Structure 1
Amino acid sequence: MKKFLFVTGVTFVVVMAVVIGLRLSPDAMAVIIGIICGVLASIPTSVILVWVLRQRDKQTEEMGYGQGRYGHYPPVVVVNGQSPNGYSNTAPAPMLAPTTPPGTRDFRVIGQETTEGIGDILPSIWE
């Protein structure tokens, strides 16, 4: 029964691949083949990466660095004594609003000789 289901499944996958392959455009087929090749190319890299990381973990355990990170010294924890709930008694100074520069602002349009007023900047509106 298992063999029959396996053969039926493989046959179904092959038939679907042929039908889809005949109906796809060459560009779509190239994209699918590129994705498959990219995934297949990443498998050896992943296997090598896992193997190297396991070898490194084995070496650190053999050298004695794997168990205790601190050796025979306990970790030091520093606790600052402050007011209740960790808040200080004084409030921080409020942020001041930025001041505007004194006087009027002068605007200059590049390419014009004089820019005395709005009528010089936008003459079509004032005519």
Structure 2
Amino acid sequence: MDDYPLLDLFLTMLFFFLWIMWLFLLFRVVMDIFRDDDLSGWAKAGWLIFCIVLPYLGVLVYVIARGRGMGRRDVKQAKDAESAFKDYIRTTASEGNAGSGGTNELARLAELHDSGALTDEEFTQAKTKLLA
């Protein structure tokens, strides 16, 4: 046990953690390069080559130059996925219950609630009344 002191163990764990964090950041940058529709194909290839040839410098420069856009693209992707999911639920529910007007009313109530026209209490009351 004396061959590997506690401080060396701590430093090894710290370096391992930092290495894993850097790998996570590298993969996030590479995913963001491919996700960005504003970049041309040549720009994507250039950033990718820069991140592969000089990985530490490439990732650092990318985060400095385009880091703010990374967050915006993440939020946009989450909102797009949520709206696509809601649209899928609405179309599936309306196709499954083509004869019932309750589904359409629920969808209309959800839209009014999302737009802020209905408060949470009003939405809950209307939904309970509709489902009863």
Structure-2-length-normalised TM-score: 0.31
Structure-1-length-normalised TM-score: 0.32
RCO comparison, higher one (Cα < 8 Å, 6+): 2
Q: Structure 1 or 2: larger helix share?
A: 2
Looking at CA atoms only, which structure, 1 or 2, has the larger radius of gyration? 1
